[in-house]
Structure 1
Amino acid sequence: MADRVHPGQDSPPATAAETSPVKPGPAPGTYVVQIPKDQIYRYPPPENAQRYQKYSRRSRRSCSLCCCMCWIVSILFLLVLFLGIASGILYLVFRPKAINYTIENVSIKRFGLNSTAKSNQLTTPVMSPEFEVTVRAKNPNSKIGVYYRGEGSVVAVSYAGVGLCAGRWPGFYQPARNVTVFKTVMVGEGIRLSRDAYLGLMGQQRTGEIPFGLDLKVPVRVKFGSVKTWTVTVKVGCDVAVDKLGVDASVVSNKCRVRVLPWKSI
């Protein structure tokens, strides 16, 4: 009886290439370049290395500058917030009121106005005015005093926008609930008005109402209880009218406006 032969028993096993599916190759005319991944991310091309370093340094500087600006803005915000809170507390505690200023008397010792001047004259005379002004300052506050500084102060008289004479505000301390009356002398030299202003001044002298402007700028320090502020500027603008140009002139009308510049000194 013949032996049976089973096909495939003695045949060699199939290889992996024969069992795995065949991958399609690249299309004709194309090339595949394989580069290690670490070289792509860690090593820029030589022509871009310098540019990469420049951009990296710029980015670090930008971050540092942003952090610095954030700190500065935060500090300024906290400072403004603190000052606002402190100002609110001071206002609630002391209830500050503006000081009232009044021009009580204006004595014109010298002016140089020629009452016989004619309207057709070509030139106006050169004047050297001298004014003595009495000012009344009333402090209505119950817990606030004011230190006036004479140094750096300016008191000036003008007519029709032309400065006539100037002087200084005396230095003194005005306590709470106090009324202080003082005099200041102002002198000017070489003043010449325009022809129209000069003739207008002559006409107003005849009517008995001559308007002048009185401007005061005084550096002061305000005292809240036992605390003194920094030096601020008080500006007072007054519209004053007198009946004549003489030593015995009387004030016909006066109105003063007060402004305080807390961040500006003279």
Structure 2
Amino acid sequence: MTSRDITATAAANHPTSGGNHHHYYPPSNSSSSSSASFRGCCCCLFLLFSFLALLALAVVLVVVLAVKPKKPEFDLQQVGVQYMGISPTTASSAAVSLNIRMVFTAANGNKVGIKYGESRFTVMYRGIPLGRGGVPGFYQPAHSVRRIECVIVVDRVSLLQADAADLVRDASLNDRVELRVVGDVGAKIRILGFTSPGVQVSVDCTIAISPRKQALIYKQCGFDGLSV
């Protein structure tokens, strides 16, 4: 075999790069890339909203520290007896009817307004609830004083004969009836459109009224445990 034949045989057994070859291509990762991009976008949005919320909270805290909000000041100014009647029902009990008009003053010494919720007051005689009265919610501007009127109607509340006799004696003979007025006033501070958490102001007043004069003759009130 000649050298030419050997070269031809080698070329036939080992084809050159110019021949046909089957190449392997890996599968596309476009779906996994889209999913990763979506998760990254959601993470960025979450971080953005968290930053904005923290920024808004920081602004509110700065404003609150600058304003230094205080609780509203309540005071009972007037108490009037519009009607009082006692009628026996049985041998051991009596029915009491009473109309009391109370006037409170609410003083807002803050630099911002206060939003009040509905307030309810209860009148008691010797620990016995006689009646309740309510005051609708309202908004009070900064540095203002507002009068709040509350009428409590006691409609034939049954008392034991002993308590009814004491009430008649206090009203007719002594012209002095001691009552207790309790209630809660809910308030919220309004700052830059934001409403603060509720602030509860407790009202607890011991009063003495004159049925003949229909006037307040004695008053001792506590607001959040502070005597005024």
TM-score normalized by the length of structure 2: 0.61
Count of residues paired in the alignment: 166
CA spacing shift, 1:249–1:210, aligned 2, 3 Å = same
**Could you tell me how far apart the structure 1 residues matched to 2:220 and 2:74 are?**
9
**Are positions 1:219 and 2:186 aligned together?**
yes
Report how far residue 92 of structure 1 moved: 4.4
Map 1:59-70; keep pairs closer than 5 Å.
Answer: none
**Are positions 1:238 and 2:205 aligned together?**
yes
Report how far residue 95 of structure 1 moved: 3.3
Report how far residue 113 of structure 1 moved: 2.8
Report how far residue 197 of structure 1 moved: 2.4
Question: Equivalent residue for 2:140?
Answer: 174
Question: Equivalent residue for 2:124?
Answer: 158
User: Contact between 2:77 and 2:104, CA under 8 Å: does it hold in 1?
Assistant: yes
- Name the aligned partner's letter for residue 110 of structure 1: Y
Question: Which of 124, 129, 134 does residue 98 from structure 2 map onto?
Answer: 129
**Could you tell me how far apart the structure 1 residues matched to 2:130 and 2:204 are?**
15
**Could you tell me how far apart the structure 1 residues matched to 2:133 and 2:149 are?**
11
Question: Which of 249, 252, 263 does residue 214 from structure 2 map onto?
Answer: 249
User: Contact between 1:101 and 1:256, CA under 8 Å: does it hold in 2?
Assistant: no
Report how far residue 232 of structure 1 moved: 4.2
**Could you tell me how far apart the structure 1 residues matched to 2:100 and 2:132 are?**
9
What residue ranges of structure 2 are gaps of 5+ in the alignment? Answer: 1-57
Report how far residue 86 of structure 1 moved: 9.8
**Could you tell me how far apart the structure 1 residues matched to 2:191 and 2:206 are?**
31
User: Contact between 2:80 and 2:216, CA under 8 Å: does it hold in 1?
Assistant: no
User: Contact between 1:106 and 1:251, CA under 8 Å: does it hold in 2?
Assistant: yes
**Are positions 1:148 and 2:116 aligned together?**
yes
**Could you tell me how far apart the structure 1 residues matched to 2:138 and 2:75 are?**
17
User: Contact between 2:86 and 2:95, CA under 8 Å: does it hold in 1?
Assistant: no
Report how far residue 191 of structure 1 moved: 0.9
Report how far residue 102 of structure 1 moved: 2.0
What residue ranges of structure 1 are gaps of 5+ in the alignment? Answer: 1-84, 261-266
1:127 aligns to what SS in structure 2? strand
Q: Name whichever structure is richer in strand by fraction.
A: 2
Question: Equivalent residue for 2:75?
Answer: 102
User: Contact between 1:243 and 1:252, CA under 8 Å: does it hold in 2?
Assistant: yes
User: Contact between 2:134 and 2:150, CA under 8 Å: does it hold in 1?
Assistant: yes
Identity %: 22
User: Contact between 2:116 and 2:139, CA under 8 Å: does it hold in 1?
Assistant: yes
- Quick check: 89-98 or 193-202, which moved more? 89-98
Question: Equivalent residue for 2:43?
Answer: none
1:113 aligns to what SS in structure 2? strand
Cα RMSD between the aligned structures? 3.0
CA spacing shift, 1:258–1:110, aligned 2, 3 Å = same
Q: Which runs of 4+ in 1 moved over 4 A?
A: 85-92
Report how far residue 226 of structure 1 moved: 4.5
**Are positions 1:112 and 2:85 aligned together?**
yes
CA spacing shift, 1:188–1:207, aligned 2, 3 Å = closer
2:169 aligns to what SS in structure 1? helix
User: Contact between 2:179 and 2:208, CA under 8 Å: does it hold in 1?
Assistant: yes
**Could you tell me how far apart the structure 2 residues matched to 1:191 and 1:95 are?**
45
- Name the aligned partner's letter for residue 100 of structure 2: F
CA spacing shift, 1:243–1:128, aligned 2, 3 Å = closer
Map 1:15-26; keep pairs closer than 5 Å.
Answer: none
**Could you tell me how far apart the structure 2 residues matched to 1:172 and 1:225 are?**
18
- Name the aligned partner's letter for residue 249 of structure 1: Q
